[in-house]
Structure 1
Amino acid sequence: MASYAPLSRREVETQFMERLRGRYEDAGFRFTLHPRAEQLPDFLGSYLPDALAEKPGRNIVIEVKDRPGPSSDHSLQDIRGLFDGHPDWHLHVAFIGGDPLQSLVLDTAAPELLRSHIEEVRDLRRAGHRRAAFIMAWSLLETALRLREEEAEGRARAPGTLVQTLAMQGYIEPETERRVRGLIDLRNRIVHGDLMAEPTDADIEQVLAAVEETVSVTGG
């Protein structure tokens, strides 16, 4: 039986960053790995992110971390503070080891940042990447619940539990619950590798409607 040496930390990071690059470029962004200070706005000071994604009217600074935890949370709080008062610039955080489409961490104090991700999902949909858009929409639905409950780190929830919690807490209407619950099987088939499973534009928009419904009750 052949044996394979584990990837080095550098190789893992390189592969992860290339997946991020593909995601952003598919959505029409110009992606820059390890941008220089002169490529960044003055308000970031000496902070140099891991990557930068840009297109007209939308600028995304990308920070990559090994894993969530108290130490990373502390440093990210300082970084997030740099973006106050600059609505055209956003901080996205991705954790190595996860799917870039599902590993973005959103500041629970900033529902407008969540809404910017919703537009990214629609960019993916318009570009024809419906499967990626559909799965990312589901990840945003989980983020919307964390935002609503003000959980700093949150916990993973199965899709059925996620939808049930949203409904039980009154964050989504019963009709929304029914429609989104009907998409759980499709979501699971895509996540588990069913290449014949293909969401429609309406499926994606239905999940995004649940995201927006959840966010709207925050008053953000």
Structure 2
Amino acid sequence: MAALARFDFTVVFAYRGQERPIDLFSNFEPSDYEIFVSRYQAGAYLLDPFFHAARQPISGVFRMRELAPDRFFSSEYFRTYYSETRLAEEIGFFVPAENGITVVLSLMRKHSTHVFPAREFALLKDAEPFAAALVKRFWSDLDPRFDAAHAERRRKASPIDAQRGVWQRLGLTTREAAIVELVLQGHSSEAVGERLGIATGTVKVHRRNVYRKLGIASQTQLLSLYLKTIQAAA
């Protein structure tokens, strides 16, 4: 990969449904590992565009901005968590594996390195079949690793369990929970309405009701409540 394009970090995650991702490889220093892996696995992944794309699943090479919701780069999730990564851009190789598992090999460039130029991105896209073949060869039969992690979660709540539980404990309806989760991912009210088949005005009414129920006044407070609850359970 380094012969084709310049990048600063790489990480490989495996995804299976809504389960906590498994980190297969990375080249982070300890301080960066805390942000990119530890905090990500603790619950931040639930709002990650790559996580949601891997669940579809998709295959191929994509820039983050191709998969992100329409307001992702102005969302509280981006400002509060993703901006701490100090990335200018992230590119992901999405490789569907067996039994609904998708492996994502991410190449990352810091702000000081700037985004991937079109020429390098084109080279990476050409290399996608080779990268996919390597991923499948070296990271096959991942079900046992997910099953072992699932067994561990039986005695301790997983982030996805906390995600479901936080809204229930706070008294939100199923519709309200669906709306605020999409908002936190970075979808605008208009995009939320399109996805759920309701009017934009209805989405805004639900958002106001949620804020009133929770005693908060901003998306910043909503995200803080969301992440603290999930991370406490992880």
TM-score of the two chains, using structure 1 as the length reference: 0.25
- Greater fraction of residues in strand: 2
Higher relative contact order (CA 8 A, sep 6+): 2
TM-score (norm 2): 0.24
